[in-house]
Amino acid sequence: MHYSIENLPTYRLTDLPTYRLTDLPTYRTFTLMAEAKPYIAHFDLDSFFVSVEIINNPSLKGKPVIVGGYERGVVSTCSYEARKYGVHSAMPMKKALQLCPHAIVTHSSSGQYSKYSRWVTEIIASKVPLFEKASIDEFYVDLSGMDKFFGASKYAQELRKIITKETGLPISGGLSSARFISKMATNEAKPNGFLQVPPGKEKEFLWPLAVEKINGVGKQTEQQLKNIGLYTIEDIAKTPLNVLEAYLGKWAESLWQKSQGIGSAEIETNWEQKSMSHENTFDKDNTDISFLQSELVRLTEKTAYALRQDELMTGCVTVKIRYSDFETTSRQETIDYTALDDVLIAKVKDLFNKSYQKGRPVRLLGVRFNQFIPITMQMSLFDNNVEKLNLFKAVDDIKDRFGTKFISKAVSSKGKDSEHKKFTQHNKKKEAE
């Protein structure tokens, strides 16, 4: 019988055979089974933000589209049509528009990015037992053992098809024995492709690639390697470790191991269960709304500070209220992934206003964040979020030096209307041309 990812058999407990202890054979010696080969899949939603924009506005398909902040902002992502002109992520928007002046600049569907990310997460969670959400558009899946039943490669490719069929999003994937190799395979498979590196073929895949293809090798390390004549991963693999250490220090050993195809196959499975929270029990029960809201702001800023210290964004906010009679209520809502104080404070106040029973004395307030993903370049590239994130991190640095009690801040930001107007003016000008 043929099984597929959508055609898994189900069994009732009563369908299983039963045995008495005396029915079981006994052996004097035991042979241990060989350890199963790890199969780690990596999935990356192609030009994720652009793909969401195209789903919501199909007229953008096939056009050079840039998603990101305008003027002083930078490019979050861009369509492959824009990349042909040299536009790439993290490029200043001004330069991007010089390279591709007819590009369409937008992020009108920015509120949908987290929604689509969660949709893909739910699909993956329903199909595999172990997975990790590495960012808003990136996932690792442990398919070890699947080769006995379906074939890990076939399972991974069917999962890709299901994600695209249900969401409309293109997604690329890689499969290998190690996380970093699978991620590199995904990069080689883009756009909208899949590449497996079979066990034992790691060096065959890695060695012809340029050194900058290794995850974590930036411009500076790339130049250091090329300065000593190392241009491919094979060059690194054939260089003695002590020589590499002389030029690269501690980073050399990790780099050399990667060149040999050696890497971790571990999956962080409790990413969604982790949380950060702060709460305060008052010396005296309180009904003063202004006091309660100021306390919520303080707790939110404290928790957001911890969030940024760990380089994380949150996708879910909870507010806890305990009244004087010890009755406790909690309300939570999912939000667009963020690490910005002003966004989090607004949501916390909103949840409090929805939950608080006016006039009832409050004994305790708490704020909790969960559903974390790492802060990436993508999250801060809209409106003036770059400036805001840098501001909050600067305040964080001052707190580290002098302590939190000496710092208070007021956050103000330009409205989205003026930013949206700039997008509209630019795009209308390009349409007219």
Q: Kindly report the CATH number assigned to the domain that includes residue 182.
A: 3.30.70.270
Residues 6+ apart with CB under 8 A from 232: 207, 208, 209, 210, 211
Least confident of 93-97, 117-121, 273-277, 366-370: 273-277
Asked if 370 and 308 sit in the same domain, the reply is: yes
Q: What is the pLDDT of residue 109?
A: 74
Decide if 1 is inside a domain: no
In a domain, 305, yes or no: yes
User: Per the structure, how many domains does the chain have?
Assistant: 3
Residue 135, domain member (yes or no): yes
Question: In terms of domains, do 308 and 393 share one?
Answer: yes
Structure-token match 């883009």, residue found: 190
Same domain, 252 and 301: no
**Residue 125 resides in a domain:** yes
Indicate if 287 and 395 belong to the same structural domain: yes
* Same domain for 332 and 295: yes
Both 151 and 239 in a single domain? no
Tell me what the mean pLDDT of segment 278-290 comes to: 94
- pLDDT for 37: 82
In a domain, 58, yes or no: no
Which has more confidence, 150 or 152? Answer: 152
Provide the 8-state DSSP code for 210.
B
Same domain flag for 239 and 287: no
Mean per-residue pLDDT, 171-180: 96
Query: Are residues 359 and 297 part of one domain?
Result: yes
Coil, strand or helix at 278: strand
Contacts of 260 (CB under 8 A, 6+ apart): 203, 237
**Is 81 a domain residue?**
no
Q: pLDDT per residue over 28-50, tens digit each?
A: 333 334 456 899 999 999 999 99
Q: Are residues 223 and 190 in the same domain?
A: no
Q: 425 with 106: CB under 8 angstroms?
A: no
Find the range with the poorest average confidence among 217-221, 268-272, 291-295, 353-357. 268-272
Of the candidates 181, 199, 217, which is a domain's last residue?
Answer: 199
Q: Which of 427, 213, 389, 207 is nearest to 308 (CA)?
A: 389
Q: Quote the pLDDT of residue 272.
A: 64
Higher per-residue confidence, 402 vs 328: 328
Instruction: Give the C-alpha separation, 373 to 361, whole Å.
Output: 36
Residue pLDDT, tens place only, 394-430: 665 655 555 555 455 443 334 444 444 455 455 555 5
Q: Flag the least confident range among 22-26, 116-120, 243-247, 388-392.
A: 22-26
Task: Tell me, yes or no, whether 280 and 350 share the same domain.
Answer: yes
CATH number of the domain to which 350 belongs: 3.30.1490.100
Based on the fold, state whether residues 320 and 362 are members of the same structural domain.
Answer: yes
Beta bridge partners of 286: 362
- Own/partner contacts of 127-132, CB < 8 Å, gap of 24 or more, are 127/5, 127/159, 127/162, 128/159, 130/267, 130/269, 131/267, 131/269, 132/267, 132/268, 132/269, 132/271
Catalytic residues: 138
User: Domain for residue 396, yes or no?
Assistant: yes
In a domain, 335, yes or no: yes
Residue 380 and residue 327 in one domain: yes
Q: Which of 49, 45, 96 is nearest to 73 (CA)?
A: 96
Which pLDDT does position 216 carry in this prediction?
86
Q: Give me the domain span that covers residue 326.
A: 275-402
Instruction: Report the CATH number that the domain containing residue 239 is assigned in CATH.
Output: 1.10.150.20
pLDDT of residue 415: 41
pLDDT at 372 over 80: yes
In the chain the first and final C-alpha atoms are separated, in Å, by 60
